[in-house]
Amino acid sequence: MEQFVAKISIMLVPALLAVTLHEVAHGYVADRFGDPTARLLGRLTLNPLKHLDPIGTLALIVFKFGWARPVPVNSRNLRNPKRDMIWVALAGPATNLCLAAFSALLMRFFIVLRTTSNLGEFGNFLDPLSLMAAFSLYINVILGIFNLIPIPPLDGGRILSALLPDRYSDFFNRLEYFGFIIILFFIFYTPVWPRVLQPLVSLCVQVLAGKDSAVVFQVLNFLRT
């Protein structure tokens, strides 16, 4: 039981921040480009309860990737629907990758502070903060990269749809009805995850965390046990 509580305490806040800021970023950029839908529905808020999808949150905790309840965007309200939709879609993954970089800086700062300073008992508080920052780095890299997969309804699919000519994008958008099944197929029944996405995630973690990347992978091993 204690181990379960420790795992939840490491994952909960970083995961909530990651999915909440991802969705708020979509809504904020859409609002800036002329679509107030998310704002009018009260979705431009940092209250995670407004954004959580129960199944997506459970998947995030169990499988270390998941999803939130998408912020509604009405592309017809955008000043230039196809062009602006690219920026709206990019906002979520870009926010996650920025959070990953910030988390890496925090983690490395906490580790340096813990190992080079004589903080006494206060230093014990830095250990869980380091673990949370390490998980935040990983989960934000996962969400940033995963959402760029060019399959609707993922952000990468919306970007690709906006780049395609209308006669192709209309057909492509119809795949959204089967998008979740297609995504699961690629993850579990093709080598895309182990041979492409997983190495890319590991590379990003190593680049951002540097010599402290081992801490991130140790945290992940602990969470998987």
**Active-site positions?**
23
CA distances from 134 to 51, 126, 199 (A): 23, 12, 18
Is the Cβ–Cβ distance between 187 and 154 less than 8 Å?
no
Q: Which two tokens stand for residue 163?
A: 């780049």
Q: How far apart are CA 101 and CA 76, in angstroms?
A: 34
Task: Name the residue among 153, 40, 56 with its Cα closest to residue 48.
Answer: 56
Q: How far apart are CA 86 and CA 65, in angstroms?
A: 23
User: Which H or E element spans position 15?
Assistant: helix 2-32
